[in-house]
Each structure stands twice: as C-alpha cells, then as structure tokens.
Amino acid sequence: MSVDTLSAGTDSPRPSRWRERLMVALAVLASALLLWLASGQIVTALAYALGVGCLAIALSFAARPREAAETSEYAPPDWSVTHAAIERGEEATAIIDRAGRLTCANARFADCFGIGAAPPRLVGLAGADSEALEGAARTAWRDGKAAFEPIVAGGREWRLEIERAGRGQDFLIWRFAPVVHRDPLQDVIGHVRGKVGSALGREGIQIAAVAPDGHIHAANTLFAARATGEAEADVAGTDFVGYFSADEQERIFYAREGNRGASVRMLHVPIADPDAVASGSAAADPGQTASLFFLIDNQGGVGDTRTGIPQIEALLARLPLGLAMTDRDGRFLFANKAFLRAAGHDENGPPPYPSDLVIREDKGALADAVRRFAQGAGGAGDVAVRLRVAPEDPVSLSLAGVRGLGEGAVILSLKDSSEETRLKREIAQATKMQAVGQLAGGVAHDFNNVLTAIIGYCDLMLMRHTPGDSDYDDIQQIRANSNRAASLTRQLLAFSRQQTLRPEVLQLPDVVAEISTLLKRLLGEKILLEVTHDRGLGLVRADPVQLEQVLLNLAVNARDAMTGNGGSGGIPATKGGGVLRLKTRRITSADVRAMKSEILPIGDYTALIVEDTGHGIPPAQIGKIFEPFFTTKEKGKGTGLGLSTVYGIVKQSGGFIFAESEVGKGTRFSIYFPVHVPDAADVAEAAAAATAARLPAPRKQWSGGGRVLLVEDEDTVRAVAERALVRQGYEVTTASDGEDGLEALGRAISAGEEFDLVVSDVVMPSMDGPAMVREIRALRPELPVLFMSGYAEEQLRREIDIPGMYFLAKPFSVAQICTAVEDVLKRR
C-alpha cells in the first residue's frame, strides 16, 4: 500500500441532471398527446403541457440550493488535501484512527518508517522506546496531547509530538521531528564570522579558529587585515603559524608588519566537544581538538603580565554568558554579572576562590580541577558541583586552561540553569508520582483480596453468633477495622487514578452549595467560611460524590492549619481560627496563555479555589504534599492520604491541581476542570437516562437458586464467596484460574448441564478472567458474567470491553456478593 493510496480522495463527480429533466419533458409531452386524443382540443393540450413544464422547471431551480447545501454538508473527506497539508520538509507525520489504523502519512514518514505498520508499532523500534510510545499514545487519547524525546527509530533520533484531533476526537496526529545535534566547532565558526567576531574587532581583539593541523577555519576581519593587509581577505585554509614571527626576546609579531608593528599576546582556548569530554575519547585531547586564538596588541613593555587583561575583562563583562577567570593559584581575577547571577552570589564582586561558591563536600573537587587546568597543558572540561544557594541541584561548571594572559590561567563558565532545573524537578516529580501511583494501585488491589477474606469470614461468623454472645463484639470490632482499612485502600486507588467514578455533567457551584452546610459544622465557630462564584461558569464532567470528598479533605487540612492541629516543620499553627475561602472562577483560553504554564493546556476551564489563612507549608515540603503517606502533621494526627486522594480524583477527572503557599500567610489550592461542551450523543444519552428513570426496569422474576461457576485464584476469597453463595441456595462449582474454569465448563456441557452465571476475578495467573470469558462466549454467547476486582470499574470496562458484563468491587461482604449475583440473574 502506498502513501498515495492512504491519502487518496474519496470524492466522486456529481451526477448530471439532464437525463432526469429529459425524462420529465417526455412524460409531459406524452400526457399532453393523450389529452389531445381524448378531448380533441389541441389548445387545451398545449396549455396543459406549458403549465406542467413551467412547474417542473420552477421545482428544479428551487431544489438547487438545497442540493448544494446537502452536498456541502455531507461531502466525504478528501484525504489528498490532508496529505498535501502535512508535507512539511524534514518532519515525518502520520495520522491514525481509534482502531490504530494508519489513515494518512506524508512521504517523509513513508521513507523513514514505511507504511507497513502504524505508530506506535514502528519498524526497528527498541523495546523500551516501544513501551514508551504505547504509554504516550494512551496519554494522548486521554489528555489530548503527549510528547516524547528522544526516540531512536529509522536510524536516527526523533522528537515526537502527539495530538488528538477530528470532529469526534477520533484521530491521533503523530509528528516526528528529527533531533539535530549541533557541532560546537561549527557554532564557534559561526560566532567568529558573525556578530561576536565583529564585536571583538571593535574592541581591538583579533580572533581565529584553528584546526588541529594548524590551518585556519575562520577569522574575523581585524585578524585578516593585520595578517594580510586586506580586511575582506579569505584566510580560511591557510597556515595560522605562517602569519607570525618572533624576535630574540620571544615577542610575537605579525610577519607582514615585522618588528615595526606592535607585538601581540595570544590567548589559546581549546574547543572540546562536550560528548567527547564526557566519554573520555581521543577527541577530547587538547592536541587533537580545534582551538580559538585571541590576539591582543601588547602596548606595554616586555614581561608586563597584566597587559591585555583589562580588554579581556571589558569584553567578557558585556557577554551574556557567565564567565570568570582565575590565576594560577585559583584566585578569582574577575567575574562578570552573568556568572555571579548564575552562581547565586548577591555581592558585587566575586569571592576569593571559586570553591567559596559551592557546598563543603564539593570544595576539594573544584579546587583540584582549577589547579589541574591552571598548571597542566591547555585543555577544557566540565565538573559537576552543587552551589551553596541550591545544594540539591548539581550544575555543570566548564573550565578551560588559557596561556598568554599573564596571571590569567583558567576561564570558568557557568550557565544560569534555574529554569531548566525547575523543569527537570517537575518532570522528576511527575515521574515519581506516576511510579508511586502504580505501586499504590497494585498494593491496594492485593490488599483488597485480603480484606475480602477477612470481611467475609467475619460475616460468616456473625451468622452463628447473636449480640449477646461473648465473641460477638470482638468479631464486630474486627469487621469495623477491616472496613476502615478498606477505606484506606479506596484512597490509594483514588491516588493511583484507579477508583470507580460515576461522572456527571454539573455546575461546580451546585456541588459547593450541597456541602456548604456540612463544611460549616466541620470547621467550627472559629473559622469563617466565605463562598464566592463567578458568572457564566462552564459545565464540568466529574463525579459529584468525589468532588465533595475533595472539598472535605482540603477543608479538614485548612481547619487543622488554622486551629493548631496541623503545625509542622517547626511552624506553630494559628490558635485564633481564620478564614476559609471557596471560589469558583471562569478561566478562558486567554487567561491560560497569560499564565504561561507548561503544564496547563490552552483551553477553557472552570476553576475551584480553596484558600486558607493558616500557617502555610515550607518550600521544602510543597513538592511532596501530594505523595501518599506524606503528612505535615504531628505523629499520630494524619495518615498522609488526604491530599494524595485529592490529587488522584482531580487527575482521574481530567483536571489539574496546583498548590501555592507562603509560610505564615496561608495556602491556596487551585483546581482546573476543562469546560465540558455537550454534544448530540450526550444530549441523547441524558434524555434516554431520564426516560429510563421514569419507567420501571424490565426484570424477569428469579425464583432463587441456580448454577454458578466461581473462578478465583485467591483461596481465601474463593472459599468465602463459595460459602456465601451456597448458604443462599446456589449450586457452586469452583476453579482456581481461567484454564480450570474452561475445563469445568467443558465438563458441564459434556454432562448436559448448564451454568446460569460466571463469577470471575479479573487478574489471575496462567489465563486471566477476560481471556477465559472470551473463550466461554464462543461456546455460550448469552451466559452473563460478574467480574470481581479491586481495580476501577471504569478502567476495566475500557480495557476489557465485553458485552453483558457486570462488576463487583472488592472488598465485598457476604451480603454484597449474594445481592450482586441475585441482581444479575434477575436481569436474564
């Protein structure tokens, strides 16, 4: 299949109407002829034909606008136009649909990846990159956008951007942009020939980039003028040393000028490839790398070691790069403002030594590096250090040994990487939260199996005891603590975004109004609750029960911060109460652009803001507050799951949450929910749901009993479920995994027996529940299935997609599993 085939248009020419009109004319003439033969009056026949013909012409012209509108509205898409639009030079672009099929691709994509497979399944892709692309695709389907860099495919590195598009949001656009690795030597050559070289020339400094073999790569016009006598002369490819001579006192002159010209002092700076330096290859050897030579006229006498330093200082002070210079003993000679700003040094001048800028553990390493470059052969390299102003974030300090500047021995370069560090910290935090979320979800799932067994056995024991028995209270206590543990697992599932949600289209002020009364009782008399709403708020789609949980958790934290129950980090909470403000705000796309946030996508949002006047959160803790089991409260006064639950609910609802805090002034949580625009399908679904709510659900009467196939790999859970169903009158056949379940079904069919229901776990070894059910449906298509799982129902339905499927959340009690089985059988 070629790219042209994928992008070929599907338009067809409009059918001609002339044949239709001819048939109408013949029919009119025939009817007029019959009228003439029947009546014998030719005038009447002609008048009839003329009237009918005029009417037909009028109807034909009246139908043209409608036909044009229908053609415009229902015209099929022309993929050739899309194909022409995505031809964008070096960028490889492909479009896939919901089924993962390649719908359209440009020529660059076909050349690099072929069209035999659609992304993310690309030819020649490494296993790690393949898994990462699968995750990026899921993120793009969920969030609308995703990015990944770098990816190695097709023999080169790419930067990937994925965007969801289409009227029904049913397509993913994959854009692969090639990653270009810049050559440091070519960058230097460009600067020498460009504005930097011109600026140096105006300051009287000649500069040349020289290859390891001594030939010139590039030079500024001042060097060309001094060396050849012509400013526009092309000196590239000529011998650098050949332009100079020396006298008995080892002073260096331009050969063209001789001893009558001014002597020059050379500053030699090797150009080392950072990748070569990091790898320790031969390319990092100063003798095998290109070099920069700065030449300064020596206006002083012989041996004047400070000659040229003022010019160098004036030059480096103007550059936006963070540059400094030390002498052979490692003392600072000078440092420009960019260097001091990047190092976080507030004073006007530099400290005595570079090691004064770093933490105590890195002082020795930096001092040794400066001494090595000052005393050894000229070279360049990097050293990782931690600055005193930011001890947790290592930075790269570049060093280059220089010769010919008297006291100047080492040039240091430091880049202001505060913004880069912030972005790295946010990415690391997001990655950590994702990993912790996956771990929390897995732990909660396994823990739910244990709690199911404990709660089930408690229920079975309570059936044999009455409230007057001595063991009754103990069993009730065990059951109550098990339910408390179950609530903790639900919070873990909420944090890992695997909780079962029941989203509805709603207005945030309605949710706030429903819970305001409860919040006032919860906050007490010392805390004032202020609620304000914007006008024209957009609709949001979320679970109202979970939104109330979000508000409760944030309100409890705010109350503790304002009444003395939440002091942390050595900061006492306020004792006299405070103010809790709940606000809803309308956020437009223009507002989001003004925020300049790298996290919040451009769009319309409805914001929920919860702000208190408590003690605030220290900056060192603000990045950890959403992690599970992290709490700022005293020991024994918090589980650390409140804010992690809030984070999970917001993210699972498609929203974004940000925390801002200032110690001593309070904390502000801002939650952004995308504005929901109902489409025709949503309106029809809402109308159908309203109609169904007014009508009684059609159910067949189930007399009780029945044959149940129970498949569960956890022995204790299987035993509890079996005993509960047997006590209820069901005939239960058990199996420990999917393969055993299929064998049990096969034995029943061979014996001429049938099961009324399959109750199965989802995650099992060997063969899981969904795979087993698909095999069962091939034999018994109408057999209902009740899945048991600790994961979210919404997530399971999206991943499993089996019709006639029902769901029972773990942990469940004996009464809950019996009720669930009965409800499913009544719907048969």
Please tell me whether residue 212 adopts helix, strand or coil conformation: coil
- Between CA 311 and CA 317 the distance in angstroms is 10
Residue 299 backbone phi and psi in degrees, to 5: -85, -15
List 291's β-bridge partners, or say none: 210, 270
Q: Quick one: 689 exposed, middle or buried, by C-beta within 10 A (0-12, 13-18, 19+)?
A: exposed
C-beta separation of 758 from 784 below 8 A: yes
Return the structure tokens found at 332: 């600072």
Q: What digits encode the pLDDT tens for the residues 210-226?
A: 988 888 989 998 899 88
Residue 807 has pLDDT above 50, yes or no: yes
Give the long-range contacts of residues 800-809, CB within 8 A, separation 24 or more.
800/762, 800/770, 802/770, 802/773, 802/774, 802/777, 805/773, 808/759, 809/500
pLDDT at 515: 83
343: Cβ–Cβ under 8 A, 6 or more apart, which residues?
322, 357, 387, 389, 414
Q: What is the pLDDT of residues 320-329, one digit of tens each?
A: 678 888 888 8
pLDDT greater than 70 at residue 307: no
Q: Is the pTM of this model over 0.75?
A: no
Contact 267, 402 (CB under 8 A): yes
Residue 700: band (very low, low, confident or very high) from pLDDT cuts 50, 70, 90: very low
pLDDT tens digits for 70-122? 444 445 566 666 767 777 677 888 888 888 888 888 888 887 877 777 888 77
Q: For residue 778, which of 800, 801, 745, 806 has the smallest C-alpha distance?
A: 745
Name residue, tokens 């289409």.
Answer: 166
- Neighbour order of strands in the sheet with 205-210: 216-219, 205-210, 291-297, 264-270, 252-254, 244-246
Segment among 283-292, 494-503, 700-709, 723-732 with least mean pLDDT: 494-503
pLDDT one-digit tens code per residue, 528-581: 999 999 988 999 988 887 788 888 888 888 888 887 654 433 334 445 578 999
Q: What local confidence, expressed as pLDDT, does residue 332 receive?
A: 87
CA distance 768 to 335: 66
∠ CA 349-354-356, nearest 5°, is 85
pLDDT, position 572: 41
More confident residue, 569 or 267: 267
Please give the pLDDT value at position 219: 92
| % of the chain exceeding 90 in pLDDT | 9
Residue 1 has pLDDT above 60, yes or no: no
Q: How many CB atoms lie within 10 A of CB 757?
A: 22
Mean pLDDT value across residues 397-410? 75
Q: Residue 124: pLDDT above 80? A: no
For residue 157, the Cα-to-chain-centroid distance in whole angstroms is 20
Residue 220's alpha-carbon distances to 76, 194, 198, 211, 325, in angstroms, are 61, 8, 7, 16, 24
| Separation between Cα atoms, residue 676 and residue 540, nearest integer Å | 5
Indicate if the pLDDT at residue 61 is higher than 70.
no
pLDDT at 698: 46
